[in-house]
Structure 1
Amino acid sequence: MKIYGEDCKNFTEPLNNSERRPIVMIELKRFGIELSKKHLKQVTSYAINAGCEWILLTNGWEWKVYHVEFGQPPKVEILDRWNLMEDGIDELVRKFEIINYKSLKHDRLNKIWKRVKVLAPSSLLAAIVAEDTLKTITRNLRKNTGILVNSEEVYTGISKLLNEAAAIAMSNIKIPKPAERVKKPKIKEDKENQIEEESTS
């Protein structure tokens, strides 16, 4: 186990099993030091080198939990944050529960992260402009107003409701093309032939 800090550049404590990867890389800053991008960059490099997926950055009163997605380049996104000076007791209890021993043992951070990603703007926007959703909106608009609009018009209307960042994200999502309708075989002639046969018999 390696511990890094302002006054201790590299303190090493051996682990029982050196092959095991750390679950969370923790960066503790001195109380009173404001957390910065520099601190996050520092602990991120430690996490990447150790193959660690989670980061906890704190100065004693401000706490931040980050997720590391390994790629080229690696991507770091915040999962949660809280402040001992600003948040209420009940809120703090819920926040600290996600990093307690039981939560880490049962991989709760990953479960929370999956839910966060599902509810991310990109995921929600993709669901909103899905073919079935656009059809439902079109149908409801016609029902409520008596006016028929198409999916592209609904898409444009939705984009006007969004802020600039969300609108940019939405512009990267393609409008799904409506599925081709399967033409039903003509059975008119067969019915006429059947009627003629019945009449002659």
Structure 2
Amino acid sequence: MAGIPSKVESRLIAGLKRFQPILEQAKARDVNEADTVTIVKDLLADLFGYDKYMEVTSEHAIRGTYCDLAIKLDGQVSFLIEVKAIGLDLKDQHVKQAVDYAAHLGVEWALLTNGVVWRVYRVVFAQPLQFDLVVEIRALELSPRNSDHLELLWLLAKEGWQKARIGEFHAQRQAVNRYTIAALIMSAPIVDSLRKELRRLHNGIKITNEQISEVLQAEVLKRETLDGEKATEARKTIVRVHKKLAAPKKSVEAEIVIPQTVVEEVSKEPPAG
């Protein structure tokens, strides 16, 4: 990802130093959800750079209920935030609540936080509704001197969000996720390469691609990376890419189309000389 602007980096460093003690004290006192929301709003403004009065909306109405916070940029909701009490562990039902809010509003991004832990989810508008955990940030474990930690905060900062850094980060994570890697390992070119290497290692021993695939599925790869919708989608993606790469490319000559009228005119011309 592109580097963080120096002005933003300074704000992130100062904000992290300021708010880590506040979060530690709030967690020690086990403050309630309302007080946690107050801290989160301050974090959004002073650490992440959103305008507390113009861009942070409290209790955003969604189909008769309310999401704790919404971030509006250029008049449009960019993401929703569901806040839980700082001492509460974030659980699956909390995730579903945040994602459902986003889905009802047609918003692609949902955040779930208790102030200390921040989880960002991308909503996939499919049937059934799906969602991906894009990143989890643990505020008390970050160091203002660690550039990688600041990069994580930059994902949620207003300036980073406007530059769609979270989308780039998600795309990068998707490219190297376990389903894609498992599907690649099971793909024909990789299995064929493994067969050739095994033959080299064992003096030309006869072994088939099917035998290698069986071992990979049964003993090497985790079942969860091979089954389910995400695994299926990863395999489909790899098949599409392989087909595209294998398709014969048109020659330059084949792409040059001479209109028939030109051919006819040329044929009528008397031979030179």
2:119 pairs with 1:64: yes
Is the CA contact 2:68–2:82 (under 8 Å) kept in the aligned structure 1? no
Q: Which protein is richer in helix relative to its size?
A: 2
Larger relative contact order, structure 1 or 2 (CA cutoff 8 Å, min sep 6): 2
Number of residue pairs matched? 170
Of structures 1 and 2, the larger Rg is shown by 1
Higher mean displacement: 110-119 or 26-35: 26-35
Amino acid of the structure 2 residue aligned with 1:158? L
Q: Please list every run of at least 4 consecutive aligned residues from structure 1 whose deviation after the TM superposition is greater than 4 angstroms.
A: 8-13, 15-18, 171-174
Output the aligned Cα RMSD: 3.3
**Inter-CA distance 12–157: structure 2 relative to 1 (3 Å threshold):** closer
* Equivalent residues of 1:26, 1:55 under 8 A apart: yes
| Aligned with 2:184 (options 120, 123, 127) | 127
TM-score, with normalisation over the residues of structure 1? Answer: 0.70
How far off its partner does 1:96 sit?
A: 1.0
Residue 151, structure 1, aligned to residue 204, structure 2? no
Aligned residue runs from structure 1 range 1-201, under 5 A: 3-4=58-59, 20=76, 22-89=77-144, 90=146, 91-146=148-203, 147-159=205-217, 160-166=219-225, 168=227
Distance 1:133 1:154 in 2: 10
Query: Taking structure 2 as the reference length, what is the TM-score of the superposition?
Result: 0.53
Greater mean alpha carbon deviation, residues 81-90 or residues 129-138: 81-90
- The one-letter amino acid of 1:157's match is V
Shift of the 145–78 alpha-carbon distance from structure 1 to 2, 3 Å rule, reads: same
Q: Deviations over 1:132-175 (max 9, x none)?
A: 21221111111111112111011112221123423546x9669x
Quick check: 1:84–1:92 contact (8 Å CA) kept in 2? no
Give identity over the alignment, percent.
21
**Residues 132 and 36 of structure 1: CA distance in aligned 2, closer, same or farther (over 3 Å):** closer
